Amino acid sequence: MNVKIENPSAPKDKYFDLNVFEAKGYRDHYANLTAMMKKHIRLDQLKGRKVIDLACGYGWWGQSLLDYGCEVIFVDGREENLAAVRQQMPDAKTYLMNVETDRFPVPYADLVLCMGLIYHIADPRSLFDKMAAVTDQAFVETTCLDHDGEFIVYHRESTDARQFSLTGSACRPSPKWVMSNLREAGFTRVEDVSDATGNRAPQQGFPGLLYDWKYERTCGWRRAEHTLRRMFAASKPSARADLLVF
């Protein structure tokens, strides 16, 4: 069941006054983001594999892998996003799922893409445990806290669809927090695979994105109108964990 907590007092973010999936040029930007991810996947080994695109939005992460012969399962907490996926790909397998309360729709996947999700939920560590129960390999992409220690902050967030939080709960983890908690969940090898490929200048309606930033220990998550983000690859010491390139 999807639970929505009305939170009218949570401030709206002026940088997200548009649905980014509908913003002009944003899909083109996803080509850069998925290129950054694909540098760390053995694409020739994807044929016949099962991939979950978790909190998929319009499905552009998973869609970028379809040409390599894998089966992609598109999962999101909003039916309107899944409808957009099916409009692009009528045969797509889509599942409505609240990642904080519901079970995964399949018992195993070769790869889970957890992109742009964990900073919109209350308990990322519990999600990492759920991911580890169904996969040996994962990517995690998130907004991060500017600190080189193991820190996470929690806050309230609008539940407007353009803000993406289903429940009104949100967080900002530091990169070290993400890596440490992925390891504790069972992904024994975790690497930061971010680079400047994903950078984007700010435009009206949404902030810029910065992946190759250095720590200033501000404990913020924006810098000069850019959101600070990172991407991580994680795997277990398993015979099935053979898709990632570190």
pLDDT digits (tens, 9 = 90+) for 129-184: 999 999 999 999 999 999 999 999 998 887 776 557 888 889 999 999 999 999 99
CB 213 within 8 A of CB 10: no
At residue 187 the predicted structure's pLDDT band, cuts being 50, 70 and 90, is very high
241 in a structural domain: no
Please provide the average confidence, as pLDDT, over all residues in the chain.
89
Q: How far apart are CA 39 and CA 32, in angstroms?
A: 11
Q: How far apart are CA 203 and CA 125, in angstroms?
A: 32
Residue entry with tokens 């695109």:
53
Give the CATH number for residue 206: 3.40.50.150
| Cβ neighbours of 150 (radius 10 Å) | 14
2 in a structural domain: no
C-alpha closest to that of 89 among 112, 117, 65: 65
140 in a structural domain: yes
Element (H, E) at 245: none
Range of the domain at 156: 14-235
59 in a structural domain: yes
CB 220 within 8 A of CB 153: no
Q: At what angle do helices 124-134 and 175-185 cross, to 10 degrees?
A: 40
pLDDT score of 198 more than 50: yes
Q: What's the confidence (pLDDT) of residue 146?
A: 97
Domains of the chain: total: 1
Question: What is the reported pTM?
Answer: 0.90
pLDDT digits (tens, 9 = 90+) for 112-130: 999 999 999 999 999 999 9
Q: How far apart are CA 18 and CA 231, in angstroms?
A: 24
φ, ψ of residue 34 in degrees (nearest 5): -70, -30
Answer with the residue of higher pLDDT: 14 or 68: 68
